[in-house]
């Protein structure tokens, strides 16, 4: 029933996570009616996004291709002795938005999961080991989603650095079951961060 172009655009939009079919049609309709200069800018940005972004060479967050390191790793005033480990870049963004962590980050890009065939070598684990041996780190914060799937990764990292004089902390058990860092409200996340141990 939809015109072909609107249908095609809706299908593309509904490919995105968290977007259902109905929302996809609404968004496609919004774009159809939007100011042409906005649509042009949107299309241009979308076209360039993958060419203009890459992984930070230190923390594996994202940065513009003109830099080797992301803005956080380049910031000279950040505490180098506190390293916050996260599953993915969105978790890093969620924590950074709180303004509570003054140290640096390390993005693992996944978790250890025998079921989906992910082992430590599939994650940014060797870079983490290199960082820990070359940087002066006093605390490692395991800022992971509080679910059972994360347990293996947490235990692996705790074991990995158990012989070193580094305090390894976890966020307090704060989120409801199956909660996720990127969806947590700020107050909950701040108290989880402050209550780590």
Q: Which range, of 66-74, 113-121, 129-137, 160-168, touches Zn ion by CB under 5 A?
A: 66-74
Q: Which range, of 17-25, 44-52, 65-73, 94-102, touches Zn ion by CB under 5 A?
A: 65-73
* Cα angle value 85/125/99 (rounded, 5°): 15
- Please count the helices (runs of H) and the strands (runs of E) in the chain: 8, 6
* Helix/strand/coil percentages in the chain, nearest 5: 45, 15, 40
The nearest distance, CB 169 to Zn ion, in angstroms, is 21
The nearest distance, CB 111 to Zn ion, in angstroms, is 20
**Nearest alpha carbon to residue 174 among 150, 153, 144:** 144
Choose which of 61, 84, 140, 184 interacts with Zn ion (CB under 5 A): 61
Q: Give the per-residue contact string, 71-100, with Zn ion (x = CB under 5 A; - = no).
A: --x---------------------------
The nearest distance, CB 166 to Zn ion, in angstroms, is 20
Rounded to an integer, what distance in angstroms lies between the CA atom of residue 139 and that of residue 81? 6
* Cα angle value 171/177/181 (rounded, 5°): 45
Nearer to Zn ion, 28 or 70 (CB): 70
The nearest distance, CB 37 to Zn ion, in angstroms, is 33
Rounded to an integer, what distance in angstroms lies between the CA atom of residue 105 and that of residue 186? 19
Q: Give the per-residue contact string, 16-55, with Zn ion (x = CB under 5 A; - = no).
A: ----------------------------------------
Rounded to an integer, what distance in angstroms lies between the CA atom of residue 72 and that of residue 76? 8
| Binding site residues, Zn ion, CB under 5 A | 56, 58-59, 61, 70, 73
């Amino acid at each position: 029933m939809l015109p072909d172009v609107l249908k095609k655009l809706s299908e593309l939009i509904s490919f995105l996570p968290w977007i259902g079919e109905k929302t996809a049609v609404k968004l496609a309709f919004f774009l159809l009616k939007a100011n042409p200069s906005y649509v042009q800018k949107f299309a241009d940005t979308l076209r360039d996004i993958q060419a203009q972004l890459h992984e930070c060479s230190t923390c594996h967050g994202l940065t513009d291709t003109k830099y080797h390191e992301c803005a956080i790793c380049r910031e000279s005033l950040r505490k180098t002795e506190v390293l916050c480990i996260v599953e993915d870049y969105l978790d890093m963004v969620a924590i950074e938005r709180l303004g509570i962590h003054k140290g640096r980050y390390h993005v693992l890009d996944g978790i250890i999961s025998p079921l989906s065939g992910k082992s430590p070598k599939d994650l940014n684990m060797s870079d983490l080991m290199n960082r820990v041996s070359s940087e002066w780190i006093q605390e490692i914060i395991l800022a992971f989603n509080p679910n059972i799937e994360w347990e293996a990764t947490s235990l692996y990292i705790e074991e990995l650095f158990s012989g070193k004089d580094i305090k390894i902390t976890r966020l307090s058990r704060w989120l409801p079951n199956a909660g996720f860092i990127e969806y947590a409200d700020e107050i909950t996340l701040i108290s989880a961060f402050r209550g780590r141990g």
